[in-house]
Amino acid sequence: MPARRIIPCLDVRDGRVVKGVKFRDHRDVGDIVAHALRYRDEGADELVFYDITASAEGRGLDIGWIERIAEVIDIPFAVAGGIRSVDQAAACLEAGADKISINSPALERPELIGEIARAFGCQCVVLGVDSFADGAAYRVQQYTGSVAATRDSGRLTLDWVREATGRGAGEIVLNCMNNDGVRSGYDIAHTAAVIAAVTVPVIASGGAGAPAHFRAAFEAGASGALAATVFHDRILPIPDLKEYLASCGIEMRR
């Protein structure tokens, strides 16, 4: 497997970076461009920006902030939020994004995955999956950027990731909602089950709070590990985290 990736996640609302716990009670944590610059300088491998209310509000992304980010960083970044057509995906890529991440729009119309993959390549299509543990079952949730709009999609997570990768998704970001923001560790068992179910890279997301949590995700087979709180609040400096992971025998870009 190639070097593992450390990926800060930036939830965006009204052009500002915010962070919640279990997808609720978001707090403002700063300017979007300032965060992008800091993570570039600290050695993040990639970034992902989620406009968390776009899908629930039925609108597309603000291309303006994509352009501002692309002007100042030279590391890959993905964008997500309300991308419902090839034309909207093209606008984001032309503005400077490297990947398109789709979640609720793909659940609304799964054909969208293949349309974007055929237009720009599977490597450009990231499927975001907001997975909620409901007893023994993991179910995909939709419109999670709005508490009022959040609902069950009617799909089981493993069924959905198999279908989506079959349609052309080239990467999965697995957001384990029960663990989000609580810093108790990734849901390793669920992450490993998704990794076993697909043949594309899987990014672990939800629950990182300590270096050992990242190690556990990588040892389970994750291609990357996504986190927000520990990076936004400067709890885990990215250079120190990479040094720790390298000392554990995990290949990192440094």
Identify whether the C-beta of residue 250 lies closer than 8 Å to the C-beta of residue 217. Answer: no
Angle of helix 238-247 relative to helix 211-219, nearest 10 degrees, comes to: 50
In 3D space, the residue among 110, 124, 213, 214 whose CA is nearest the CA of residue 167 turns out to be 110
Among candidate residues 51, 62, 130, 187, the one labeled active-site is 130
Determine whether 187 is an active site residue. no
Among candidate residues 11, 51, 180, 187, the one labeled active-site is 11
Under DSSP, is residue 61 helix (H, G, I), strand (E, B) or coil?
coil
Write the single-letter amino acid at 216. Answer: A
Residue 204's H or E segment, with its range, is strand 202-205
Name every residue whose Cβ is closer than 8 Å to that of residue 222 and which is 6 or more positions away in sequence.
Answer: 4, 186, 191, 195, 202, 203, 204
Alpha helices in 11-103, H assignment, sequence order: 32-42, 54-57, 63-72, 86-94
Determine whether 87 is an active site residue. no
For the annotated catalytic residues, the residue numbers are 11, 130
